[in-house]
Amino acid sequence: MSRAAARAALLAALVGGSLALARAEPPGPAPRGEGPEAADGGPPAAPAMPFGPGSVWAVVQEHQAELTACYEQRLAEGKSVRGEVVLSFVIGRDGVPAKARVKKSTLADAAVETCLLRAARTWVFPRPSADQPVDLPLHFDEARRQEKP
């Protein structure tokens, strides 16, 4: 599979094909119990780009170092960790991930999984017009570090 085809497949998987259901009206704020808040206590500032597969991809790539740090911290502690973690969350109408959880994992390392979840809960995405489910597969291998999703 070419790199472009792999990226296109990932982008489709990230948003579960649900973008076609998104309405065109501007989103309003939605309350969330977890995640970042703006300094004034209101909803966090969303990135200045329209919501879509490309913007989801851009936010994940922007936070690549956080994901890698979770894994590399365990390697520095002498742990041998490799496998796949699928993070599942819903990007709310405020752009903040909610209902974040580990959907699947072959890492067998709760510390890495917890760190990944903690990081993902702080991200802010462009605001979709309706809640958007995301499954984010992350592959870890000691020799190659964290593969890009």
Residues 6+ apart with CB under 8 A from 85: 102, 104, 105, 106, 107, 112, 113, 116, 137, 138, 140
Per-residue pLDDT of the chain (149 residues; tens, 9 = 90+): 333 433 333 334 443 333 222 222 223 333 334 444 555 555 555 555 688 888 888 999 999 999 999 989 998 998 888 899 999 999 999 999 999 999 999 998 999 999 999 999 999 999 999 999 999 999 988 754 444 45
Q: Is residue 112 part of a domain?
A: yes
Q: Is residue 28 part of a domain?
A: no
Count: domains in the chain: 1
pTM (two decimals): 0.65
CA distances from 10 to 49, 99, 136 (A): 19, 21, 9
CATH for 7: 3.30.1150
Q: Is residue 37 part of a domain?
A: no
Q: Is residue 79 part of a domain?
A: yes
- Domain of 61? 3-17+50-147
Q: Is residue 109 part of a domain?
A: yes
Q: Is residue 26 part of a domain?
A: no
Q: Is residue 35 part of a domain?
A: no
